[in-house]
Structure 1
């Protein structure tokens, strides 16, 4: 990939929450096996650390609802499962970010109630206010909230980058199919390629 300009880039970590990626989370039957097989949380932690060191803005998106779900519109099977499993209630451990995704000073956490992190949230305002024109995404699930957020980022005019080994889905097949589709809208890179893009820019600047 070409170089990344850190001062105009945000790394958006999608739904790294206990109920979604945790071993005891409500969605563990769907996502945990692939989370463990791929080591995606370890990769995400490394990518987050490298991005901070490079001066990239870090934004976490988390989905959470009020107790009793007055703000949940279960118009899809995925959102219907939230109410059925009584999970992702704001203020509970399940809705919190997992240990591997603990925010640092200066990081931003955006809470939303739809599949895309941009929908009815302050994400676009936060990014544009920071002068961001490039969005790098990782998280779970590749074919749900990550894909939805990436598609909307592309539609909003952002240069969109997806870290292939920094995300996972309920199955390897679903993950790969999503990346294949997103390749028409975003740059698909590995975590090593992303790291090299920061390094290449730094080398160019020093030269």
Structure 2
């Protein structure tokens, strides 16, 4: 694998989301392994986080998911809930993209960052599989990116949804593999 046209997307692994899922001491291990391997292979690591402006001007009352956030407060750009979790913290030089919707592309400058670096292949991992990962796979495929989904570095609250996405949905548009298999492939 040629590293120069690839990027690892670390999506929504932020304080307010990860705390809902982190139920074991080794929860962050697959994410950390993928990030470490990407860095060793000189693959850019790009962080994507969801956050809103104060006052939520980008949230419509028609959006069921986000209107509840705007009514209850939180998830603003400066809130601790929207900061990248310390277990997978960005390093100097890593791009951090703020998005305003579920997909990593919607309401963000991700595509600009990727095009500027001539990235054409995305390696995806994040929380939740049925949210940011699914939406980003679909949109990235429509934008003609080649895709890899790291199956054990994608987390969903529903094991059946996770299984169906990994075994039936994602393989139509992406290569699905474990972090271990991906690391072995890029570090050859």
Q: What is the TM-score normalised by the length of structure 2?
A: 0.92
Give the unaligned 5+ runs of structure 1: 23-27, 201-207
Q: 2:136 aligns with which of 135, 149, 162?
A: 149
Render the CA deviation track for 1:58-88: whole Å, top value 9, x for unaligned: 1011110112212223544332332244221
Alignment partner of 1:185 is 2:181: no
Render the CA deviation track for 1:133-188: whole Å, top value 9, x for unaligned: 11000010001111101111111111111000001011211211222211111110
Query: 8 Å contact 2:125–2:133 — kept in the other structure?
Result: yes
Query: 8 Å contact 2:37–2:187 — kept in the other structure?
Result: no
Who is 2:127 aligned against? 140
Moved over 4 A (4+): 37-40
Please state whether the residue corresponding to 2:144 is helix, strand or coil.
coil
Who is 2:45 aligned against? 58
Query: 8 Å contact 1:40–1:165 — kept in the other structure?
Result: no
Q: 2:13 aligns with which of 2, 12, 16?
A: 16
What is the CA–CA distance in structure 2 between the aligned matches of 1:84 and 1:39, rounded to whole Å? 34
What is the CA–CA distance in structure 2 between the aligned matches of 1:181 and 1:117, rounded to whole Å? 18
What is the root-mean-square deviation of aligned Cα atoms in Å? 1.7
What is the CA–CA distance in structure 2 between the aligned matches of 1:63 and 1:197, rounded to whole Å? 30
Who is 1:114 aligned against? 101
Query: 8 Å contact 1:40–1:168 — kept in the other structure?
Result: no
Report how far residue 40 of structure 1 moved: 4.2
Who is 2:113 aligned against? 126
What is the CA–CA distance in structure 2 between the aligned matches of 1:20 and 1:54, rounded to whole Å? 28
Query: 8 Å contact 1:47–1:191 — kept in the other structure?
Result: yes
What is the CA–CA distance in structure 2 between the aligned matches of 1:44 and 1:135, rounded to whole Å? 15
What is the CA–CA distance in structure 2 between the aligned matches of 1:143 and 1:75, rounded to whole Å? 20
What is the CA–CA distance in structure 1 between the aligned matches of 2:9 and 2:116, rounded to whole Å? 15
Residue correspondences, number: 187
Give the unaligned 5+ runs of structure 2: none
